[in-house]
Amino acid sequence: MLDFLQAASDGVLFGTTYALIGIGFTLVFGVMHKLNLAYAAASIGAAYSGLIILQAWTAAPAWAVFLAAFIAGGLIGWMVYLTCFHFIPLSHPLAPLMATVGMLLLIDEIIVHMTDGMPQNYPAVYDDVMLRIGEFMVRGDLLLVGAVSVLCMIGLLALLYRTRLGLATRAVSQQAVAAQLCGIRVGQVNAMTFVITGLVGGLAGALIGASVGALSPLLTAPLTVKGLIVTVIGGLGSIPGAIVAGLLVGGFENVFQLYRGVTERDLYVMLLLFAFLVFRPGGIFAPRGGRD
């Protein structure tokens, strides 16, 4: 029982990063009704950019690396928007999807090229801290991951529900044409969505690097799959859904890793997804119908 609780709590804390990646997919989908498959790769790429700071300034504190990853995430997000969405007409819905795939491969290859394919050490934060409650332990680095992710989610929700930009973003996601008629610059909102999700992704990438202790381009494919699963389980376009689903998937996979081993755990995550698709295809928080 204690093992179960331990695995579940570790998983839920790590699941906050899945939640952040899921939010990125879901926001872009909500606003543009398009999938940005390059997102997880961009997030890992942004985390790598943090390492460049370390090369120039070897004694750089961890927050500097995180900040660099955060900013790089925004920049990469904007570049993905420009290269994969801005110039492609809306009448070809498959083209931007394919372009983001190209971008995914490109980012992966740039990482491999720059690091000779070797995994890179990432500065761990608070990895020697342990909170003990009897036999039950909470790893300090995972606690940091959870705390930063929650802060980031609160910031994002405040941005979406308390600012004019957030209002415009929600308007575009509800009805792009009507929003445009009201004088909202849809192109600008789309670009800003990519920058904001990029910032979140960069932070998520850095958190993943810090809690795993290393970064490798091999992280991008599983992270893409997990992020998409979180998006679907939570309900496409729903931010609270992505958060809940991220925690759920994180806890679920860690529990199954405990009982069934690391090679089988993802199989159960897929089964969870299929259970949702069959019994609740709209996800936990299905968006209200009749959006278009």
Residues that bind another protein (CB under 8 A): 29, 33, 35, 83-84, 87-89, 91-92, 94-99, 101-110, 112-113, 221, 224-225, 228-229, 231-232, 236, 263-264, 266-267, 270-271, 273-274, 277-278, 281
Q: Look at residues 215, 211, 165 and name the one whose alpha carbon lies nearest to residue 11.
A: 211
CA end-to-end distance (rounded Å), the chain: 48
Compute the least distance from the CB of residue 136 to another protein, in Å: 31
Pick the closer one to another protein by CB: 47 or 236.
Answer: 236
Q: Which residues of 77-105 are buried (b: 16+ CB within 10 A; e: fewer)?
A: bbbbbebbbeebeeeeeeebeebbeebbe
Pick the closer one to another protein by CB: 5 or 98.
Answer: 98
Compute the least distance from the CB of residue 238 to another protein, in Å: 13
Pick the closer one to another protein by CB: 104 or 243.
Answer: 104
Compute the least distance from the CB of residue 212 to another protein, in Å: 20
Compute the least distance from the CB of residue 5 to another protein, in Å: 26
Pick the closer one to another protein by CB: 53 or 79.
Answer: 79
Pick the closer one to another protein by CB: 3 or 264.
Answer: 264
